[in-house]
Structure 1
Amino acid sequence: MTSASSQHAAGPARRTVVAAAGAAGLAAALTACGSSDNSSDKVNTGSGSSGTTGGAGGGSAGGTALAKTSDIPEGGGRIFKDQGVVVTQPTAGTFKAFSAKCTHQGCAVGSVTGGAIVCPCHNSHFSIADGSVKQGPATQPLPAEKITVSGEDIKLA
């Protein structure tokens, strides 16, 4: 009997091992379903940049080149997945940029259609003009991103 009692003392109980494995699996599942964005670490107080073709803005200003103004349809927009940004043109010559990460659960938005930026995960719709929620379940607007428009070039600032 001495050997049986020493087995229990030498390692964790079976229940402890099973409970720990279950907890680890649950944590992994919650991490996969939750937002992987660091939006709580990133505060963007900008209201989106607007510009017109030929508007002010340094031609030699730094930034990541995104597109030409002609690449962004009037009344629509284009998603730049690699940069995590959506650029829209709500009215002729006015360009706006927003995060491409849905504020509901962090999914990447999937399309710009009918004057809205649409998230495919739960069908949230956001305004192309100001990023505000047009249809939930999202309750927070898309954060504005800063862009510059110089001539025909749109750059992420």
Structure 2
Amino acid sequence: MSDEVVSGGGGVGRRGLLCGGGILGVAVLAGCGGGGEEKSAGDLKGKEVAKVADVPVGGGKINGAEKVVVTQPTQGSFKAFTAVCTHQGCTVGSVSGGLIKCPCHGSEFKIADGSVQRGPADRALTEYPVQVRDGGIVVT
């Protein structure tokens, strides 16, 4: 194939298509990122990230403002993890069936320890230490 016009009359050569596709590919990948930036435990220390009443047993609640997901794997046991997926930085979208789920590429993490249940993510979610104080779940 020559480096000339690929489709009739458009004047776009093969090289132009490849370069344009490369730019588009970068834009698409950038769109997958979701802009999530994980916070450190120090950034969150002392902050209430959820109310006990809002976190169901066997499920969880996502705090989008703080980028934290709080779970209750068993009655009275609360866990908190970054809500930033370890695959490409999307913010996780839901918690159900004992799993924290990322809507971007389908990664799933266990609510008990943040470990990967299903990829493409290959690292667990960062866990934050928490305590229950006055009906709230606070990062310690």
Q: Which residue of 52, 56, 63 corresponds with 2:46?
A: 63
Q: Which residue of 122, 132, 137 corresponds with 2:115?
A: 132
| Shift in Å, 1:151 | 4.2
RMSD: 2.7
Tell me, yes or no, if structure 1 residue 116 matches structure 2 residue 99: yes
Taking every aligned residue pair, what percent have the same amino acid on both sides? Answer: 52
Unaligned 5+ runs, structure 2: 1-15
Which segment drifts farther, 62-71 or 84-93? Answer: 62-71
Q: Aligned residue pairs: how many?
A: 118
TM-score by length of 1: 0.63
| Shift in Å, 1:68 | 2.3
How far apart, CA to CA, are the structure 2 residues paired with 1:152 and 1:34?
34
| Shift in Å, 1:35 | 6.7
Q: Which has the bigger relative contact order, CA under 8 A and spacing at least 6? A: 1
TM-score by length of 2: 0.70
- Corresponding residue for residue 87 of structure 1: 70
Verify the 8 A CA contact 2:50 2:63 in the aligned structure 1: no
Residue identity opposite 1:130 in structure 2:
D
1:59-114 CA-partner distances (Å, limit 9, x unpaired): xxx72223321211001000000000000000011000000011011101000000
Q: Which residue of 133, 137, 140 corresponds with 1:154?
A: 137
Distance 1:28 1:66, change over 3 A: same
1:10-58 CA-partner distances (Å, limit 9, x unpaired): xxxxxxxx9xxx7xx579725444474555xx777xxxxxxxxxxxxxx
How far apart, CA to CA, are the structure 1 residues paired with 2:25 and 2:124?
28
Q: Which has the larger radius of gyration?
A: 1
How far apart, CA to CA, are the structure 1 residues paired with 2:96 and 2:56?
11
**4+ aligned runs moved over 6 Å, structure 1:** none
How far apart, CA to CA, are the structure 2 residues paired with 1:102 and 1:120?
10
Unaligned 5+ runs, structure 1: 1-17, 45-61
